[in-house]
């Protein structure tokens, strides 16, 4: 299969820009099939965790991480760790080497850390620092300041953490002082891997057993990396248990980690190929953690021919080569327990539903209203402007298909996933679609535009006025 397969390269374009970069508009023209092979960037969720746990590893030798995501969110985590004293060398498009300081090695003087727009950075650092002996303050960019943090502050408090949200209604910034913690039995009201991971990071420096219970299965990236570091951890689909304090952590993967390709990034390409006649694509080396593969289940249920081959592992994480092609899609209904396994990809379900036969219904996904934007309102508003028959509900949407999509002027709402989901809709629309706020694509998928062009799409970035 022809294409641009190879090591993914980040490029110096606005789609890899920092949060304060000049605004940009994504211009999309529909009608062309996607064909070829592309290696998507490293998994964002695993990249955050590999950096943090690499900083806690023991020994004089560094942990070498290949395929680390170059997105803005992961860069925020890296800068925060460097401010905490971690020594990190190399660039994400090569090999990053992080010199571990041990499980208690991030203690020190008071520190103020900028989490930018990354909710993952803030929640994971809150758990990490709750048990490190230093005062800290976690700052946030305006969009992150709107997101709730009590869901991590409250359970950490039950472990004895001194941590508080300074914004209204439990919103950032966060301020705290690391101290000796105690293990606890914690039942989370929402299935959140970020919150669970924060609690496990805190548990590394807590006395006794910490058990985290989830109401539905979540991604287990943190658990897999901790197990690869010989931590005393056990887990199943609904709970994770760690006994602390942990005095020593081996280097993950024996000191070498290859981060799988990001399935959340791959999802945009897979969904675009599924709705564009004549498309056929292959994406090698993508992570297929069971807590993340909801979008593959969705595509299969709607009739897309998703193939998974070449299964292998890296530091406990499964990865494989994915392929799909255009198909006539059928509508589905979706709710729990699949929602947590596809939470980041659910705006794409609305796009698929607009091109599928019948009524597609999403329920029990109110969490989407608490992301970088209100993603339910944002995707429904954008698709309506393109001619889709879609209605927002309190915790989801209803879309009638198939309908013809028309190019339109759209607002990405400062949300990388909404911009990219609307771009997928634009590829299936007649005429030209222009999406404001495209500078935010780099929050999760640097190279999105480059990869679409490599597969044959007509898409480019323009500076906004």
Query: What's the start-to-end Cα distance of the chain, in Å?
Result: 40
Cα separation, 183 vs 212, in Å, equals 10
- Read off the tokens for 356: 């599928």
CB 172 within 8 A of CB 145: yes
Using CB atoms within 10 Å of the CB of residue 187, give its burial: 0 to 12 exposed, 13 to 18 middle, 19+ buried: exposed
Catalytic residue selected from 15, 344, 415, 451: 344
Cα separation, 439 vs 419, in Å, equals 9
Helices 416-427 and 346-355: crossing angle, nearest 10°? 20
User: Catalytic residue at 344?
Assistant: yes
Cα separation, 365 vs 93, in Å, equals 35
DSSP classification of residue 309: E
CB 320 within 8 A of CB 261: no
User: Which residue stretches of 102-182 are H helix?
Assistant: 119-130, 150-158
Please, what's the largest Cα pairwise distance for the chain? 61
CB 411 within 8 A of CB 373: no
What phi and psi values does residue 165 have, to the nearest 5 degrees? -90, 130
CA distances (Å), origin 167, targets 141, 147, 284, 414 = 12, 10, 43, 21
Torsional class of 85: left (φ above 0), alpha (ψ -120 to 50), beta (otherwise): left
| 3-state DSSP assignment of residue 444 | coil
CB 81 within 8 A of CB 52: yes
Cα separation, 118 vs 135, in Å, equals 21
Q: How far is CA 110 from its chain centroid?
A: 29
- Read off the tokens for 137: 């303050």
Q: How far is CA 122 from its chain centroid?
A: 14
Nearest-CA neighbor of 29 among 269, 271, 276? 276
The catalytic site residues sit at 344
């Amino acid at each position: 299969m022809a294409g641009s397969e190879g090591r993914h390269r980040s490029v110096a374009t606005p789609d890899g820009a920092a949060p304060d970069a000049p605004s940009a508009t994504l211009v999309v023209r529909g009608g062309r099939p996607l064909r070829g092979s592309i290696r998507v960037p490293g998994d964002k969720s695993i990249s955050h965790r590999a950096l943090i746990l690499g900083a806690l590893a023991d020994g004089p030798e560094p942990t070498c991480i290949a395929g680390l995501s170059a997105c803005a969110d992961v860069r925020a985590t890296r800068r925060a760790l460097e401010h905490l004293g971690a020594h990190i060398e190399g660039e994400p498009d090569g090999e990053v080497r992080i010199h571990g300081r041990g499980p208690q090695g991030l203690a020190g003087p008071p520190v103020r850390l900028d989490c930018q727009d990354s909710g993952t950075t803030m929640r994971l650092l809150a758990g990490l620092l709750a048990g490190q002996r230093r005062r800290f303050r976690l700052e946030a960019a305006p969009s992150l300041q709107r997101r709730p943090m009590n869901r991590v502050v409250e359970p950490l408090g039950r472990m004895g953490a001194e941590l508080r949200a300074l914004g209204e209604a439990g919103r950032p910034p966060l301020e705290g002082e690391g101290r000796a913690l105690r293990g606890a039995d914690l039942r989370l009201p929402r299935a959140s891997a970020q919150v669970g991971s924060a609690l496990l990071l805190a548990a590394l420096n807590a006395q006794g057993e910490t058990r985290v219970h989830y109401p539905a299965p979540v991604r287990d990236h943190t658990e897999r990396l901790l197990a690869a570091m010989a931590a005393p951890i056990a887990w199943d689909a609904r709970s994770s248990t760690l006994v602390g304090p942990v005095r020593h952590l081996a280097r993950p993967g024996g000191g070498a980690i290859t981060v799988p390709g990001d399935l959340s990034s791959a999802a945009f390409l897979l969904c675009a190929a599924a709705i564009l006649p004549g498309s056929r694509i292959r994406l090698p080396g993508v992570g297929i953690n069971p807590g993340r593969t909801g979008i593959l289940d969705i595509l299969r249920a709607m009739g897309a021919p998703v193939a998974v081959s070449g299964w292998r592992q890296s530091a406990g994480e499964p990865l494989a080569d994915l392929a799909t092609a255009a198909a006539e899609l059928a509508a589905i209904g979706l709710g729990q327990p699949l929602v947590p396994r596809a939470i980041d990809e659910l705006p794409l379900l609305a796009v698929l539903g607009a091109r599928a036969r019948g009524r597609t219904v999403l329920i029990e996904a109110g969490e989407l209203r608490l992301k970088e934007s209100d993603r339910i309102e944002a995707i429904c508003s954008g698709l309506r402007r393109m001619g889709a028959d879609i209605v927002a509900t309190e915790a989801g949407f209803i879309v009638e298909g198939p309908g013809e999509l028309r190019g339109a002027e759209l607002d990405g709402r400062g949300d990388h996933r909404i911009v990219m989901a609307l771009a997928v809709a634009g590829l299936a629309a007649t005429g030209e679609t222009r999406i404001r706020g495209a500078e935010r694509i780099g929050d999760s998928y640097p190279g999105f535009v480059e990869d679409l062009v490599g597969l044959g799409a007509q898409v480019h970035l323009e500076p906004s006025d």
